[in-house]
Amino acid sequence: MPIYEYVCRDCKNHFEVLTTSTHADEPAKCPKCGSMKVAKTISVSNFRMGSAKPAIPGGALSGCSSKSGFS
């Protein structure tokens, strides 16, 4: 299920909505002020499709130890 990010045009609140892709076009309502004047924002994906290996930037795990987890 995708998570869509929105910003309220009235109170400038940023919020997320978890929904099914079949209901993605339904209007969202700001949880802070109740306004229906919201706009979808562009967000960065945190996953990669088509690869069995996770994409980890070089040096991202430099502070990790295989024995204790995080240092």
Q: What is the pLDDT of residue 61?
A: 56
CB atoms closer than 10 angstroms to residue 53: 6
Q: What is the pLDDT of residue 19?
A: 85
Q: What is the mean pLDDT of residues 61-66?
A: 55
Q: What is the pLDDT of residue 43?
A: 73
Q: Give the tokens for residue 59.
A: 């040096």
Report pLDDT digits (tens) over 10-62. Answer: 999 999 999 887 887 888 999 999 999 999 998 766 666 665 666 566 555 55
Question: DSSP class of residue 5?
Answer: E
Q: What is the pLDDT of residue 71?
A: 47
Q: What residues does each domain of the chain span?
A: 1-26
- pTM score, two decimals? 0.57
